[in-house]
Amino acid sequence: MTLNWFKKITKEYPKFWEKYLSYFEEESPRPKRYVIFDCETTGLDYRNDVILSIGAVAVIDNAIHVNDSLEVYLQQTIYKPKTAAIHGILKDGKEEKIVEAEAIIRFLEFSKDAILVGHHVSFDMELINQALKRLDVGKLKNDNMDTDAMFQKVKGYQEDQHSSLDELCKALNVSKSDRHTASGDAYITALVFLKLKSRLKIA
């Protein structure tokens, strides 16, 4: 019996992941779309903490499209009273909660191939990637932009200097209504992003 050691084994991915990947293969011209998003979490350790909610809103042609938005709450497998006091999401709260897999699939379908924007965006993206790892698929393919890095560039600060979202709001005169909810922080970050985008003359 001859074994074909060079036979290519192609992994079969679930339909949602194949659909997500397909967005990056399309070449039809369309307006550049940014998805500004935020995750409320059980803590700041992306390896051990998990997402509690995801809020996202689209920006197209320098305008926030509030009708093009996403807000999901996840069923909690981990509950930490300390962080609950900040984001206000209770384990048995009134919000309709879905399993992590469904939340991540909804996020991918909403984001498609948009440029992902967030404040300290690498942390939120890593949380999404950890959830994708649990689904046995790949990592996010989207390009990304960090409002903190944009702010440091506008101010001419060193690259390793960091500012909080509250500090950016104060510096840019942005209202902080609905702070510390995923959807609220996504909208606030979108306002911050538009001001920084204009100053940096980004298309």
Tokens of 93: 């709260």
The dihedral formed by the CA atoms of 46, 169, 179 and 182, expressed in degrees to the nearest 10? -40
Q: Exposed (0-12), middle (13-18) or buried (19+): which is 128, by Cβ within 10 Å?
A: buried
Is 2's pLDDT higher than 80? no
Q: Record the pTM.
A: 0.85
Least confident range from 61-70, 78-87, 138-147: namely: 78-87
Question: What is the pLDDT confidence band of residue 84, given thresholds at 50, 70 and 90?
Answer: very low
Domains located in the chain, CATH noted = 33-199 (3.30.420.10)
Is 94's pLDDT higher than 70? no
CB atoms within 10 A of CB 44: 10
- Report the pLDDT averaged over residues 121-145: 96
